[in-house]
Amino acid sequence: MPAEVPHYRSLATPVQKSSPPSSPESQFNLPVGRKYFRGSKSMAIPGRKLIAAVVFILSSISIIRLLRIAITTSSSAPPLPALPPPLQHTCSTPPPACDKVPSHTPSDQTVQQKIYANPPSLTKKEFKLLSDLIKRKAPCNLLIFGAEPQYLQLSSINSGGITIFLEDDPDKIRAAREKSNTTQIYKVDYRIPAKRAYKLLKHARKSPACSPNPEMLQNSSCKLALKNLPREVYGLKWNVVVVDGPSGHSPEAPGRMGAIYTASMIARAGNTTDVLVHDVDRTIEKWFSWEFLCDENLVASKGRLWDFRISGKSNSSEFCSEQTVAIW
């Protein structure tokens, strides 16, 4: 129902003035204190009694209206709202256990569910490229920077060979070890954030310590060299090296600059090594792959996965024979 709108007289309407009555008799039909005659009878009404009667009638009408309003209001008032039901315990354990504050430390099962619920790191085509390569070379020496759940399947594919994982995320390490007790996985601390990639690239180009000399990797003064890896990493000749770690997902997170550089040095220490770098759609992975693995060595690619085949035992002082990319 639309709200009532009060009616106002327009200011443009002229006010008509009525002429004043000519006499008191013309203004009132029944003047107070006067006598009127009808036929032969006459009746006189004293002024005070008439006023008292009018006051009594108006008072009675007001009282009746008040009583009617009170009765109507009491009958139409809405009922009081019902009280809410009492709170009930939803805990199925005994009361003492319900009173305890729940612990926020995730269990091993929760960690595994969180890790394996994430979308796979590799697409089906990317994983097929990698797994087919391992099948052709198995049994072989396989080194993987990263411990995504998909990569754990490569251990069984490389049956009879050596597979080592390098990971910095404790949750992923725990989940990998619980899924496979025979998995060789080591925790590695990456201390260089991704935001320093450009400065490190300029440093590597100017510093002779960063030249391709695999024998000096553990004692290298190059800022890109990873010197805190397990001894097996430096002692073995690797057939396949996969770089999919650390995360490098933000400027403050550890970047893959050192992992790519170290993978290129390890590959040159062997005979022929395939180095596969994932997430090459990102700037750092692309820059450092071109710089240290070289576009001329690119033999296959699927999606965001590039496969570089590096021939070892080279005496060259340069990583690439032709510098196709210049980043300054």
Tell me the DSSP string of 13-32: SPPPPPPPPSSHHHH-SS-T
Residues 6+ apart with CB under 8 A from 156: none
Residue spans per domain, the chain:
126-311
Which pLDDT value is given to residue 72?
Answer: 54
| Total length of the chain | 328
240-243 and 184-187 strand pairing:
unpaired
Topology of the domain covering 126-311? Rossmann fold (3.40.50)
CA distances from 97 to 87, 88, 129, 144, 326 (A): 18, 15, 52, 45, 65
Residues 6+ apart with CB under 8 A from 123: 302, 303, 304
Sign of CA dihedral 257, 259, 263, 269: positive
| CB-CB neighbours of 238 under 10 Å | 23
pTM of the model: 0.64
Residues 6+ apart with CB under 8 A from 172: 115, 147, 148
Residue found by looking up tokens 């009018």 in the block: 54
- 3-state secondary structure at position 167: strand
User: Whole-angstrom Cα distance, residue 262 to residue 275?
Assistant: 11
Which pLDDT value is given to residue 114?
Answer: 39
Residues of the chain under the 50 pLDDT cut: 1-2, 4-43, 73-117, 326, 328
Which pLDDT value is given to residue 63?
Answer: 79
User: Whole-angstrom Cα distance, residue 301 to residue 245?
Assistant: 18
Which pLDDT value is given to residue 53?
Answer: 78
Which pLDDT value is given to residue 138?
Answer: 97
User: Whole-angstrom Cα distance, residue 302 to residue 123?
Assistant: 9
Which pLDDT value is given to residue 297?
Answer: 96
* Residue type at 113 in one-letter notation: Q
User: Whole-angstrom Cα distance, residue 88 to residue 66?
Assistant: 48
Sign of CA dihedral 113, 114, 115, 121: positive
* Residue type at 298 in one-letter notation: L
